[in-house]
Amino acid sequence: MKIAVLVKQVIGSESALAISDNGNWVKEENASFVMNPPDNYAIEEALLIKEKIGEGEVVIISQGPARVQKVIREGLAKGADRGIHIEEQGQLETDPLSIANSLAAAIKDENFDLVLSGLQSDDTGMGQIGILVGELLKMSTATLAIETDIHSDKIRVKRELESGWFQWVSLNLPSSISIQSGINQPRYPSLKGIMGAKKKEVTVFQSQNMDKKQNVENVFVPKTSKETELIEADLNTTVDRIVEILKSEVKVF
């Protein structure tokens, strides 16, 4: 079983964020970078599948500047076998389809049986990469996986739906699946794993320039405001107005 895990490096939640001068992203100079938290669950699920089968290979794949090798090495320290780095120069890509095209082009000859990814990233939160990569590589796809059951040529996936419902689906391999956070308990790298990760192979490719379909045009800090409305009317009119506010403004209904 050959398993790819797509991971991303994001700005840590404790970093103080300021809007960049051009207004389309945040200043990264003083930010600390970490592995995208949902991707930890995808790595753990890949390692569990490999351990269940008793053989195979887990490959950590990430796109970004040279600094993303830190999260690749973190995945290797947890037990993955090797890494692939699609290196970006200059302005970082934010268009999901462009990123997916670049990832798919770099790994298409690897012939992975399974591609796992975290449900979404903590920065842009678009949640599209895993499924787009699967479609580009002509794989069966599934989202919101909260349990997996691997077989020789198929994988059963328990998907989370709305209102506490779920469904089991059976997919032919190869398959690309986005993993829901909480599906497992991610392991920490051991000291032996950290030392061993330094010797594991990380192959570097250059990212491909693709036509963009989506752009981040403006990033801003949400503005909050307070306003008091005094309702002076009879009881029925007052109740109607309160219900209207709860529906259209507060949106609790």
| pLDDT over 70 (residue 235) | yes
- Whether 21 is covered by a domain: the verdict is yes
- Whether 219 is covered by a domain: the verdict is no
- Whether 212 is covered by a domain: the verdict is no
pLDDT in tens, 63-109: 989 999 999 999 999 999 999 999 987 767 778 888 898 899 999 99
For residue 38, what is the domain's CATH number?
Answer: 3.40.50.620
- Whether 169 is covered by a domain: the verdict is yes
H/E stretch holding 202 reads: strand 202-206
Q: Which residues pair with 149 in a beta bridge?
A: 156
Work out the angle between the directed axes of helices 37-53 and 69-78 (0-180°, nearest 10): 40
Query: Which residue's entry shows tokens 């693709």?
Result: 210
> In angstroms, rounded to a whole number, what is the distance separating the alpha carbons of residues 106 and 123?
23
- Whether 234 is covered by a domain: the verdict is no
- Print the domain residue range for 138: 2-206
Cα–Cα nearest to 161, from 178, 145, 182: 145
> What is the pLDDT averaged over residues 221-237?
82
> In angstroms, rounded to a whole number, what is the distance separating the alpha carbons of residues 194 and 204?
20
| Contacts with 61 (C-beta within 8 Å, 6 or more apart), sequence order | 4, 5, 6, 7, 83, 84, 85, 86, 103, 106, 107
- Whether 12 is covered by a domain: the verdict is yes
Work out how many domains the chain is built from and give that number: 1
- Whether 121 is covered by a domain: the verdict is yes
Q: Which residues pair with 145 in a beta bridge?
A: 159, 179
- Whether 239 is covered by a domain: the verdict is no
pLDDT value of residue 73: 95
CB atoms within 10 A of CB 110: 16
Task: Please tell me the least confidently modeled range out of 37-41, 96-100, 162-166, 220-224.
Answer: 220-224
Instruction: Enter the pTM of the model.
Output: 0.82
Q: Please, where are the H alpha helices in the chain? A: 37-53, 69-78, 96-107, 129-136, 191-197, 235-245
